[in-house]
Structure 1
Amino acid sequence: MTHHPAIVPGTVAVVTGGASGIGLAAARRFAAAGMQVVIADLPGPALDAAQQALSTDGHTVHAQPTDVSCRADIVALRAAAQALGPVSVVMSNAGREGGGGLFAGEEVWRATLETNLWGAIHCTQVFAPDMIAGSAPGAIICTGSKQGITLPPGDTAYNVSKAALKALTESLSHDLVQQTAGRVSAHLLIPGFTFTGLTRARGVEEKPEAAWSAEQVADYMMERLAAGDFYILCPDNEVDTATDRKRMLWAAGDVAENRPALSRWHPDHADAFRAYMAEEG
């Protein structure tokens, strides 16, 4: 399999939120490519079990207890990773749901933004300068969400965090093009409906038929990284890429056509949206 130029044996991949779900599946792919892998997650049995499971596969995997909302922890993560070799891949994947809507308590908002957004800011500001200053290929991957693009009503704090993460990763990509001419690249992973620990936390014990597995997302990510995609827009077993693109184009049209905010769910535009989605092409 052809890989992104940064995914080469002997270099180091750092994956936050690496103890489960998409992060764990991605760590397994990086390790299989011959990389040394550092999985970072909150300390506890899940992190220990993930390291043991990956090491059982015959790979060299290191576990670093990390709270991504704490910059000192990210600095320590960088030191641990650099002790193993040159860091060529950083996957800022740690995330949490918000919950409670717009008027959720301050603690919900702060915890969501500090993990989903500030975790990525810390990783970018701590790891990117050395990658920029080097001479080898590199890749920084941020795990976003379709909810950060179409903003469905409900989990407002989560939507805001992922919308901001999209803006951060787009700006990072531009800066890396300017400073490294593409030698170091940024990528926004946009999973579809995926069966992960977050899904289990909502009481779903078995993978729904509509969902992709974390392994499918990781495989798709590796394929699209190799192709050089910035937006890695994943389908799932219910929604294909063409449908996702149409929904996103409608959302962008709210601004361009001066429709009400989130018009897809607005009663005055619901019929127009349904008709738009039913159009072919």
Structure 2
Amino acid sequence: MAPQAFAEQNTAVITGGASGIGFALANKCAKYGMNILLVDNNQENLSLAQKHLAEKISKDKQVLKAVAIDVSNLDDWEKKILSVNLFGVINGINTLLPYVTKDTTPSSIIITGSKQGITNPPGNPAYNASKSAVKTLAEHLSFDLAKSHPSISTHLLVPGWTHTGMTGGNSFQETGKPKGAWTPEQVVDYLEGKMEEGKFYAICPDGDVTEEMDKKRMLWNARDLVEERQPLSRWREGYKEEFEEFMKKDL
């Protein structure tokens, strides 16, 4: 059973907290009366987020801090994807884990992954590899902490199509959200529900893709290995009809 992460006077450290899903999570934490430390590499967004959240918290009971940090720590453009998506997560965990593990208070670690790190669609192998590595890292962290620090729960958040700053959205003004996309707030609400159920994986649907569709796509990918098919068969012309029929069947 996961600890009650969203509770008054708990402390949330949110990397990437100045926009998108991170900012939506900060808003939820503020509503619960939590202390919040926002970490982001965009100073302008960070200042706006801090100003917005300051209007929502009780200054007598809650602490709000904002720190501008670039956790990637690499400059080469060729390394940027792995730097941000993987080493940013590793650096964040290495920085915060000693503080979390020395405290006996029940706590939760939420790591954001991607469906591309699971289904591995063609077109952006570096991004897919980085997110696949994040998934592996989160799974091992969950396994190790369950033995050494059972009061700490780990969760992998995998958003679906979400209208955020990375996809043309704006955390402070809702404009032009595509019909099929979820808002960051919907993603955070879904995450909270999965955490309350004690789930590690929070693989979000959206307005176009259902939970069942996600499960079928993941199962198809796993069968590439088990059945020794060509990799990425879902996108190969020779498997097109078979995949379409598979998606029509019940799990």
TM-score normalised according to structure 2 size: 0.91
**Which secondary structure does the structure 1 equivalent of 2:216 belong to?**
helix
The one-character-per-residue Cα deviations of 1:226-259 (angstroms, maximum 9, x if unpaired) are: 2111000111011100010000010111111111
- 1:61 to 2:31 alignment: no
| Paired residues of 2:14 and 2:22 also in contact (CA < 8 A) | yes
* Equivalent position of 1:123 in the other structure: 92
* Equivalent position of 1:15 in the other structure: 14
TM-score normalised according to structure 1 size: 0.81
* Equivalent position of 1:154 in the other structure: 123
**Aligned partners of 1:143, 1:246: CA distance in 2, in Å?**
21
* Equivalent position of 1:138 in the other structure: 107
Query: Post-superposition shift, 1:218?
Result: 1.0
Query: Post-superposition shift, 1:280?
Result: 2.7
* Equivalent position of 1:266 in the other structure: 236
**Which ranges in structure 2 are unaligned for 5 or more consecutive residues?**
170-174
**Which secondary structure does the structure 2 equivalent of 1:14 belong to?**
strand
Query: Post-superposition shift, 1:107?
Result: 4.0
| Paired residues of 1:4 and 1:227 also in contact (CA < 8 A) | no
**Aligned partners of 1:109, 1:254: CA distance in 2, in Å?**
30
The one-character-per-residue Cα deviations of 1:72-108 (angstroms, maximum 9, x if unpaired) are: xxxxxxxxxxxxxxxxxxxxxxxxxxxxxxxxxx944
RMSD: 2.0
**Aligned partners of 1:108, 1:280: CA distance in 2, in Å?**
44
Query: Post-superposition shift, 1:68?
Result: 1.5
**Aligned partners of 1:171, 1:117: CA distance in 2, in Å?**
14
- Paired residue total: 242
**Aligned partners of 2:85, 2:246: CA distance in 1, in Å?**
32
Alignment of 1:1-281 (within 5 A): 4-59=3-58, 60-70=63-73, 107-181=76-150, 183-200=151-168, 206-281=176-251
| Paired residues of 1:38 and 1:63 also in contact (CA < 8 A) | yes
Q: Which consecutive aligned stretches of 4+ in structure 1 deviate over 3 angstroms post-superposition?
A: 106-109
**Which secondary structure does the structure 2 equivalent of 1:195 belong to?**
coil
**Aligned partners of 1:142, 1:189: CA distance in 2, in Å?**
6
**Which secondary structure does the structure 2 equivalent of 1:117 belong to?**
helix
**Aligned partners of 2:205, 2:244: CA distance in 1, in Å?**
20
**Aligned partners of 2:53, 2:99: CA distance in 1, in Å?**
27
* Equivalent position of 2:172 in the other structure: none
